Chain A
Amino acid sequence: MLLILSQRTFLTFVCFATGIGLLITTGCGGKTDPRKYPIWGTVTYQGKPVPAGTVMLEPDVAKGNSGPAVALKIRNGKYDSRREGLGHIGGPHKVRITGLSGEASGDEFFPEGTPLFPEWQTSVDLPKGPSEQNFEVPATWIRP
């Protein structure tokens, strides 16, 4: 009986101490990164998903938006800021998309493949909240 009681008090003590420890190490402060609105979607080119590349969202200064930009990785035609623990700041943005072929070039230079098309730009007004945005790079946008 005594043993059970002491085990229980021991367990309580351990839980308490771990809790305090976690509080001390993590603290109460949150992140100050203003890029907090999640975004996800697909990127296609000539009807096919883009194997690799980047969706870059930069606040459009010409339309009165400013703040930090964010670059999200494309994997198999999809990008997802939640996967990278990031987001955007909302408002008008310029979107710059680069796409890679996904096939290694065979030498030291391009393990993820060479660019499929020149960087493509568009603009989008992003909501201050989670959203899905799908991008289709025009099939006529080709490398010279």
Chain B
Amino acid sequence: MHRQRQRGFTLVELLVVIAIIGILIALLLPAVQAAREAARRSQCTNNLKQLALAFHNYHDVYQIFPLPGMLANHLGWTSSILAFIEQKSIFDEIDWRAVPDYTTFVNRNMRHSTVKIGPYLCPSGRTMQTQFSAENYNNVLAFTIHYYGILGPMGTNPINNQPYRCRNLTQTFGGECDQGILWQFSSRFADIVDGTSNTFLLAELSWSPMTKYRAWIRGKFQDSRGVLYLLSKNVQFPLNSRNETIWNGIAFGSEHPGGANFALADGSVRFVSETIDWGTYLSIASKDGSETLQNF
């Protein structure tokens, strides 16, 4: 009597099949991840575009861009433009009165920051909330923001070799530069003499880990260590260098491979490479440096 032939697969056959499936998945996975990141990046670009349009509409109404921050009430441009990004309900709730100190500001307005404002966040970023646990309301952490204004470039104008105008650089918070659009007193279109297509309006700052993400409602702060701008930054470190040593000069950057998104003052959004020429980077950050620009 002979043995019945066993039905089914041998161990080797099974292993081969599993290995082939594994390899196929391994080949597919990076492509799927890249497609997902591409979708997030396009959402990220779109958010920045919405903000640039909101800035334009704000300018149409008030003939000047919003202030980066106000010491009187600690608020900044994120509050000013709310009515132009379909968030009028929050805009109406914000308490605009001057505050005697930071604690009063927190009590009056921190609760608004627990609302997630879609256009303020880049989906590719990994940190969506404040990195300071005290910024909460009823134990709900405040949301942060991934798009910032530019106080101005720091360094040397590559055309005339003059230093860009900056002040109080010895302050602990790092001082402030004056030649960007969102500098201390903000700008009108007429101030952008380099041309709106050659000047950054907003820049992406969405890299992680970064310890200095704060509630989006906070605009400006001051104590014995100087003035801190929470919604506008100096351009003093390279794009994607992931540098946060100077509070007012945290490096712009993102989780997208190779660069970050920037909105120009004409309302267009560009993906700028992290290997951009340093002089060109400073030139685009300034609104009135009379630099001639190469392609960027």
The chain A residues found within 8 Å of chain B, CB to CB, are 3, 6-7, 10, 13-14, 17-18, 21, 24-25, 32-35, 52-54, 56, 58-59, 61-62, 66-71, 73, 94, 98, 100, 108-112, 114-115, 118-119, 143-144
Grouping DSSP codes into helix (H, G, I), strand (E, B) and loop, the A interface class, with mixed when no group exceeds half, is: mixed
Which of A7, A21, A111 meets B26, CB within 8 Å? A21
Within 8 Å CB of A144, what residues of B?
170
B161 engages A68 (CB within 8 Å): no
B241 touches A71 (CB 8 A): yes
Which listed residue, B16, B19, B27, touches A24 by the CB 8 Å rule? Answer: B27
Complex-state Cα separation, A39 to B208, whole angstroms: 25
> What are the residues of chain A within 8 A of B15 when measuring CB–CB?
10
Nearest first, the 5 A-B pairs at minimum CB distance are A69-B278, A71-B241, A61-B158, A118-B170, A108-B132
A126 to B276, CA, bound (A): 20
Q: Report the minimum CB–CB distance from B68 to chain A (whole Å).
A: 18
> Is A73 within 8 A of B243, CB to CB?
yes
Of A6, A53, A112, A115, the residue contacting B12 (CB under 8 A) is A6
Decide if B276 touches A68 in the complex (CB within 8 Å).
yes
6 A-B pairs, CB-CB below 8 angstroms? A21-B27, A25-B30, A52-B245, A71-B237, A108-B132, A109-B225
With a cutoff of 8 Å between Cβ atoms, the chain B residues found around residue A98 in the complex are 245-246
User: Would B275 and A35 count as touching, CB distance under 8 A?
Assistant: yes
Are B16 and A10 in contact (CB-based, < 8 A)? yes
Q: Are A61 and B275 in contact (CB under 8 A)?
A: no
Q: Separation in Å of the B221 CB from the closest CB of chain A?
A: 9
In chain B, residues 250-296, which have Cβ atoms closer than 8 Å to a Cβ of chain A? 251, 274-279, 281
A7–B173 CA distance with the chains assembled, in angstroms:
65
Contact present for B278 and A68 (CB under 8 Å) = yes
Find chain A residues with CB under 8 A from B26 CB. 21, 25
CB atoms of B158 and A66 under 8 A apart = yes
Knowing A3-B12, A6-B12, A100-B245, say if A68 contacts B275 (CB, 8 Å).
yes
Give the CA-CA distance A33 to B238 in the complex, in Å: 13
Q: Which residue of B lies closest to A109 (CB)?
A: B247
Q: List residues of B (199-257) whose CB comes within 8 Å of A's CBs.
A: 211, 225, 228, 236-238, 241, 243, 245-247, 251
How far, in Å, is A137 (CB) from chain B's closest CB?
14
* Residues in B101-131 with C-beta less than 8 Å from chain A: none
Residues of A within 8 A of B275 (CB): 32-35, 68
In this assembly, does B190 line the interface, its C-beta being within 8 Å of a C-beta of chain A?
Answer: no
Residue B39, interface by CB 8 Å: no
Contact A71 B278 (CB under 8 A): no
Q: How far is the CB of B165 from chain A (nearest CB, A)?
A: 16
Q: Which residues of A contact B278 (CB under 8 A)?
A: 58-59, 66-69
Given contacts A58-B278, A108-B132, whether A53 and B245 have CB atoms under 8 Å apart is yes
B98 within 8 Å of A (CB atoms): no
